[in-house]
Amino acid sequence: MENGIEIPKEGKYIYGIIRHSGAIDFGPIGIGKRADLVYGINYNDLCAIVSNSPIIQYEARRVNMIAHEEVLEAAMKQFTVLPVRFSTISEHNDNSGILKILEKDYKKFDDLLNKMDGKKELGLKVLAHEAAIYESIIEKYDEIKTLRGKLINLPVDKTHYQRMKIGEMVAGALKKETENYKNTILDALKSLADDVKINDNYGEMMILNAAFLIKNSIEPAFDSAVNDLDEKFGRFMTFKYVGTLPPYNFVNLVINTKEL
């Protein structure tokens, strides 16, 4: 208690698990405003990446999420990393809680590190160019093109039903076309990946929102395949290609620190 305000107890914030023996630190880049040192706690050949932290629930705000990710990205420069869920804190102010976690789940962490070794996550979002894709639909679908041609010079107030009908037809065609594009893109990339996670789209103009787990050695070929797709379909869509990412879509460790 300080000036009538209860000060949170101290614990250890856990960012991820790596395979490493011996001392290591990543500098004063810990989550929060205190610039706590990020360092490793070892058990056999496993190492938990941690920093000192008050025992609080960190809000999922941009500044906190970025701080969490920056630690993982720093570790990824040297190691395969198993990301731990955001705001996971051991309520022990010494190494004992972390050591219990590493001992209890040693086999799970060991297996996952073996599975993820030499691999990385790459993200791909594909967004349709609205005007170009609508125009392509009108050109491709004769029924829509013909009906639109008949109405183009007629008064809007007298063709309300017909224009609604065209809108429904275009929406149906858009759904069909974006699904076709999505499948074509996935067919070109899936064979290069060890695993693929399709995430929910947001907005009707998003064609694909996916994460790919690939071997490091395959990255040049994967880059080339994405570039080929961009050249082929760039008139109709934008490819937002992101890498290298912590493998959030393929590993997200949930550790129950309350049981320790």
Residues 78 and 16 in one domain: yes
> For the segment 70-97, what is each residue's pLDDT rounded down to a tens digit?
999 999 999 999 999 999 999 999 999 9
Q: Do 125 and 223 fall within a single domain?
A: yes
Note whether 127 and 214 are same-domain residues.
Answer: yes
pLDDT for 204 equals 77
User: Domain span at residue 207?
Assistant: 120-245
Domain stops at, among 117, 151, 181: 117
Q: Are residues 129 and 112 in the same domain?
A: no
The answer as to whether 5 is a domain residue is: no
In a domain, 47, yes or no: yes
The two tokens of residue 32 are: 């929060």
How many structural domains is the chain composed of?
2
Which of 99, 117, 135 is the last residue in one of the domains? 117
Region 109-115: mean pLDDT is 95
The reply to whether 19 and 103 lie within a common domain is yes
pLDDT number for residue 1: 45
Question: Pick from 96, 117, 138: which residue ends a domain?
Answer: 117
Residue 3 domain-assigned (yes or no): no
Task: Render pLDDT for 12-66 as a digit per residue (tens, 0 to 9).
Answer: 999 999 999 999 999 999 999 899 999 999 999 999 999 999 999 999 999 999 9
Q: Is the pTM of this model over 0.95?
A: no
Is 203 contained in some domain?
A: yes
Does 112 share its domain with 25? yes
Stretch 101-112: mean pLDDT: 95
